[in-house]
Structure 1
Amino acid sequence: MSLTHTGVTTPAALDPCGLEEHPDCGIRDVLDRIGDKWSVLVIVELAGGPRRFRELQRAVEGISQRMLTLTVRRLERDGLVLRTVYPTVPAQVDYRLTGTGADLTHLVKALADWSLAHRADIADARESYDRTHPDHDIG
C-alpha cells in the first residue's frame, strides 16, 4: 500500500445495522436514486414549488426529454414526487415534492451549497492530480 492510500475499512465496520443478511439495509438503493445527478437537480428545482414538465426541462440544464421523463417517474415511484394531471385540453401536468421529498430538500440543498463552495478546490485538486498522474484513465 502506498503512503497516500489508507487501509480498507472492514465490511463489519461499515454495516449500519449489524445484521448479516442485509448488510446495507437498503441504503444503497435509496442513495442510488437520490444521489444521481438528475434526481438531485430535479429535487432542487421542485423545492421552489410545483413545476410543469417544460419548466423543469428548461431549469435542469442539459437534461433530455427522455431522461427527465425517467427521472420524474422514478422519483414518483419512490414517493418523492407527486405528478398531477389536470383535466384540460390539452392536459396539463405538474410535478411537486411530496412530504417525503420535501424532507429531503435541506439535505440536497446542503450538498448543493457544499458543491458550490468547494468547486474551485476540487477543480484545483483535479488539475494537480492530472499533472502528477499524466497517464491516469480516470474520467
Structure 2
Amino acid sequence: MTDENLIAAAREAARHSYSPYSDFAVGAALRFADGSVVTGTNIENASYGLALCAETVAVSKAMAGGVRGGLEAVAVVGPLDKGGSEPITPCGRCRQVLSELAQLGSTDPEILCVGPGTVRRVRLSELLPHAFGPASLD
C-alpha cells in the first residue's frame, strides 16, 4: 500500500467520525509490515473527557485483532476546512499509545501528518522522544 493509499484510508475513516461537539472529524490509518491496514476515527462523548481519538481507536482495533508489532506507518488526517494550514499531528496521548504498539515490534514508524496542502513526514521517535514503554518497567 502506497502512502497515498494510506492517506486515502485515513480520509475514508474520518467520514465515519462521531464528532457532533467539535465538528472536527479525524481519521487514522495504520500500516503494518504484513501489508495490513487498520483504521480508526474519533468518537466524541457528551462527557468530553471520554472522547476517543482516531489513532487510539485504530490501535485498539489492531490489538484486539491480535496485532502486536510491525507498525510501519501511520496517516493522520483532519478536516481540510478547520485548524489552519498546518498538518494535524497526533496528540500526546496518541503518541504514547502509538509508541507502545511500535515498541512491541521494535519499530519507529513514519507518521504522515496531513494538512490541507502538505504532508509532514516525521518519525514517531521525533514526536515522542525518550518515550516510556514496556522496557521502562523491567
TM-score, normalised to structure 1, is: 0.26
Give 1 or 2: higher helix fraction: 1
TM-score, normalised to structure 2, is: 0.26
